[in-house]
Structure 1
Amino acid sequence: MKSLNLLLIPSLALMISAPALAEFSATPSEAEALAKQAYLYGFPVVEMYKTLYAQAVDKDGPDYKAPFNQIGNTARVFTPKDTAFITPNSDTPYSFVWLDLRAEPQVLTLPAVDGSRYYSTQLIDLYTQNFAYLGTRTTGNKGGHFLVAGPHWKGPKPANVDKVVRSEGDIVYGLYRTQLFDDKDLDKVQQIQQGYKVQPLSEYLKQPAPPAAPAIDWPAPQADMSDSPALFRYLDFMLGFAQPVASETELFKRLAKIDVGPGAAFDEKSLSPEQLAALQRGIEAGKAEFADLKKTKIDTHQLTSGDFFGTREHLKNNYLYRYVGANMGIFGNSAAEANYLGYFTDAKGQPANAAKQNYTLHFKKGELPPAKAFWSLTMYDAKTKLLVDNPLDRYLINSRMLGQLHKDADGGLTLYVQHDSPGTDKVSNWLPAPDGPFYGVLRVYMPGPTLANGQWKLPLLIPTAR
């Protein structure tokens, strides 16, 4: 990897004083413990870099969307062919923008939309933390103009801007969701997406543009970048665009001993086999801690998505929780925007596997998911974490489909979760699963209070004979 031009670092003084400039000095036992911390901290950042590179840098790649400070729209629902990030939803066609705020702020314009349609713009920092939202829940459906500024912009709020949103880093990911009612609604969604606009502040105010920021030499991703010591090299690179905050000072004093931190230049090729082995053991220890948390707290629904996604203040520097979010469903919404409830195991505590069992999921009368906007249950292949190809091209069942589903005699709703068709009389309620391990995610957009206070209970997957 070529070293980052010093002009790209927001604060040269901060970079020079950073303790991470020290070279690798940890003993093998120290390196293992520090690598675990650095891995849990850095995994979300590096996973985010993969998406950044695929969507905004690699113009010849299959997942390229648009250059920086321009919106890329996807006027269709996601399918199994979409692989840019894991556990995608297929209810809301996405729009994407990567904002480079080094030279000046950017102004996002949202169009007004009908009050019955949900839409949102989720603003995500380079640590995968959701630091702001625009749209239905926060700013309404009336649209508006919103200025997104980096950490070094000091200007006043322009009179014709509705709100200023400040980012702690110089690069921001804007992820737009526009609710799709049905296949006939795609044209309307596309019209709404065309109303999403991004402009430099100078252009918006019709003023001369400031000097452009220096070009960036983006390092190409490599296959093992999230699972090997190479992760620390990409992390060092990314920290040049989003300096750690004051509460992380002590952490990076420690990580400096393995050459990880702002201003550092980790190079795994310069390390001995013993040092590399120690770092790899630390990475594996981090993975093991996640696996234990998933088995004991996540699969048993003691922790939910609301614990893993949100602002820095919400996460309170819990890097394991931030890691969980990035590992299981990167770019998930904060709890107030949407709640994600996972089906990883069945009612008996066994891993969900449609090669071994069929399953039913029963909602009692009057006990559908409490959503102010809408709810959706989406199926994923547990091996790939992507949508599941199936003969119906059906990847989910959501609240907009209730009129097409057969209700039980008592007014409840039973869904059939399995690989093979349950028969013509039940196919309307069939959520196709892969012929193997799977998981489902129930998304509840703008959840009602009965979900947050625990009054509403999640129904469990009931295994039946295949």
Structure 2
Amino acid sequence: MKTTKTKSKLATTIFSGLFAAIMASSVYGQDFHQGYPANTKSVQNLYDEMDMQRATQAYMWSFPAVSFQSMYEGSKAEGLNYGDMIIADDYANSNSLFLTANTTTIYAQSNFTLKDGPVVIDVPNARFVGMVDDYWQRSLTDIGLAGPDKGKGAKYFFVPPAYTGEIPSEGYIVIQATQNSHNFMIRGLVDNGDVGAAVASMKKTKVYPYAERASPKPNSFVSLTDAKIDTLPHVGLEYWQRLSNFINDNPVEERDRFFMASLKFLGIEKGKPFNPDARQKKILLEGAQLGDAMARATLFAPRIEGAQVWEGRSWKWAVLLKPDQRGENYEQIDERLHWFYGAIYMTPAMALRGPGPGSQYIQTFVDSKHNWLDGANSYKLTIPANVPAKDFWSITLYDSETRSLVQNKSTQPAVSSYDKLKVNADGSVDLYFAPKAPKGFESNWIETLPKKGFFVWLRAYHPTEGLFDGSWKLSDVERVK
């Protein structure tokens, strides 16, 4: 016992001496004296670091909500109000900035709020699919063919959080919401190349407050084909202003209360305007820049389990989160950031990893030598025969800076199986990504831009088993002369 006590006393003496030595000098560059911060400057430096770390984490946590808030603000800048719709009536092009927009389908989107009461979405009897997400980009319901109406049309009644008013007993599909701010998107199905019919059916959709049901105002439609709308959540004070707007428009969820506590010291607090002082502005800008850099790493080099599509290939699954964004014992904050930093919208069908109706997305950011894809270089991608997509497939290039469509001269940064592509004797297709078209392969070429990085998406519509069982594989993008 005596020996044990002696050793214990010696260990305590050594530890106390080491701790005193540290506290007498510095920790993380801050001076200490007898365990106290040495001076007022040391205290302030530590608080500045604390708040910057919190701003960085808040940026990554809030990205899905600020992304949808940015879609609303971008639409509002073009004169669209709640319920008005942006419609890609002649397919989308790269004039506007949307995260991983799609150029191969006809679609429309709109924003609505439950802040002033219930809202109705009147869906026509038509061939389209759609979804409604809150601003955390969690699915409330599918609509159209994939929704409860099964494409036969219905009126959806969206109930605000804590609502105690009238709820109709019949004639509506009732959906309870937990947030006020929502976005919905519909995608028209083009039959026999009749784009006009798909657009006309989509324009029959109506969005209006339940209080105006007797005489709803007509919704406006703005063509995305001709517009130049910026919906990106840009890094800067604008990002935090939009986060403040979202917080003030919506109830705080229990899971997010710790983040709300952190934001108070950054000038963002529910019920108060966003008016940061000079110190807070500096920290918010630094935090957003670092958070954005971390978000890029999360997207372009994911460390999330299950990201790899095929062993030994660079292709990654684009969707790695669950529709409710919840793991077994945690919230899927990294999985959520990975998807929503590069894309928008979520529905249960998008998260299914198997054959059937819907679509699957895979992406790559590097060439066969594991170098980032560079718009100044020339590349070839061979699409093997018998692509496992029952409906059709497409390849789209996105700007690695904006994660939006590559803004090339043609404004068409995609090809699909609908196009008249040059096909090899074995049924495969060679695609080229380069500043200039290779002779004889102009139809198989997507223009890239020097000094601009890009990445590649494969979309498989109604994927079949070959995409999942390894019987069909894409090679890596190969750099060529």
**What TM-score comes out, normalization by structure 2 length?**
0.73
**Whole-Å Cα distance in 2 between the matches of residues 25 and 384 of structure 1?**
33
- Cα shift at 1:31: 0.8
Q: Does residue 198 of structure 2 align to residue 189 of structure 1?
A: yes
Q: 1:198 aligns with which of 198, 207, 212?
A: 207
Classify 1:150/1:179 alpha carbon distance in 2 versus 1 (closer, same or farther; 3 Å): same
Classify 1:322/1:388 alpha carbon distance in 2 versus 1 (closer, same or farther; 3 Å): same
* Contact 1:362-1:459 at 8 Å conserved across structures: yes
Partner of 2:158: 148
**Whole-Å Cα distance in 1 between the matches of residues 478 and 191 of structure 2?**
29
Classify 1:235/1:111 alpha carbon distance in 2 versus 1 (closer, same or farther; 3 Å): same
Partner of 1:351: 372
Q: Which amino acid aligns with 1:191?
A: A
Considering Cα pairs closer than 8 Å and 6+ residues apart, tell me whether 1 or 2 has the greater RCO: 1
* Contact 1:123-1:174 at 8 Å conserved across structures: yes
Classify 1:103/1:443 alpha carbon distance in 2 versus 1 (closer, same or farther; 3 Å): same
Q: Over residues 26-66 of structure 1, what are the superposed CA-to-partner deviations in whole Å (9 max), with x where a residue is unaligned?
A: 811211221112111223333322221221x33xx3xx4x3
Partner of 2:393: 375
**Whole-Å Cα distance in 2 between the matches of residues 353 and 224 of structure 1?**
22
For structure 1, the 5+ residue unaligned runs are 1-23, 210-221
Q: Please, which moves more after superposition, 31-40 or 277-286?
A: 277-286
Matches within 5 A, 1:309-324: 310-313=323-326, 317-324=331-338
Q: Please, which moves more after superposition, 370-379 or 185-194?
A: 370-379
**Whole-Å Cα distance in 2 between the matches of residues 25 and 260 of structure 1?**
21
**Whole-Å Cα distance in 2 between the matches of residues 420 and 200 of structure 1?**
51
**Whole-Å Cα distance in 1 between the matches of residues 233 and 429 of structure 2?**
44
Matches within 5 A, 1:150-169: 150-154=160-164, 155-156=166-167, 158-161=169-172, 163-169=173-179
Partner of 1:284: 289
Q: 2:243 aligns with which of 229, 232, 235?
A: 235
- Cα shift at 1:349: 1.0
**Whole-Å Cα distance in 2 between the matches of residues 224 and 100 of structure 1?**
20
Q: Does residue 443 of structure 2 align to residue 428 of structure 1?
A: yes
**What TM-score comes out, normalization by structure 1 length?**
0.75
- Of all paired residues, the percent bearing the same amino acid is 20
Partner of 2:428: 412
**Whole-Å Cα distance in 1 between the matches of residues 232 and 298 of structure 2?**
24
Classify 1:423/1:129 alpha carbon distance in 2 versus 1 (closer, same or farther; 3 Å): same
* Contact 1:405-1:428 at 8 Å conserved across structures: yes
Q: Does residue 473 of structure 2 align to residue 464 of structure 1?
A: no
Q: Which amino acid aligns with 2:331?
A: N
Q: Does residue 126 of structure 2 align to residue 113 of structure 1?
A: yes
Give the number of equivalent residue pairs.
408
Matches within 5 A, 1:57-136: 57-58=76-77, 61=78, 64=79, 66-83=80-97, 85-114=98-127, 119-136=128-145
Tell me the C-alpha RMSD between the 2 structures.
3.6
Classify 1:267/1:309 alpha carbon distance in 2 versus 1 (closer, same or farther; 3 Å): farther
Classify 1:181/1:285 alpha carbon distance in 2 versus 1 (closer, same or farther; 3 Å): same
- Cα shift at 1:173: 0.9
Partner of 2:344: 330
- Cα shift at 1:261: 4.2
3-state SS of 2:249 partner: coil
**Whole-Å Cα distance in 1 between the matches of residues 178 and 215 of structure 2?**
25
**Whole-Å Cα distance in 2 between the matches of residues 364 and 429 of structure 1?**
14
For structure 2, the 5+ residue unaligned runs are 1-43, 218-229, 309-315, 353-357
Partner of 2:224: none
**Whole-Å Cα distance in 2 between the matches of residues 223 and 462 of structure 1?**
32
The structure with the largest alpha-carbon Rg is: 2
**Whole-Å Cα distance in 2 between the matches of residues 326 and 250 of structure 1?**
22
- Cα shift at 1:248: 2.2
* Contact 1:383-1:437 at 8 Å conserved across structures: yes
Q: Does residue 463 of structure 2 align to residue 443 of structure 1?
A: no
Classify 1:277/1:383 alpha carbon distance in 2 versus 1 (closer, same or farther; 3 Å): closer
Partner of 1:340: 361
- Cα shift at 1:265: 4.0
Classify 1:164/1:443 alpha carbon distance in 2 versus 1 (closer, same or farther; 3 Å): farther
Partner of 2:275: 267
3-state SS of 1:329 partner: coil
- Cα shift at 1:94: 2.5
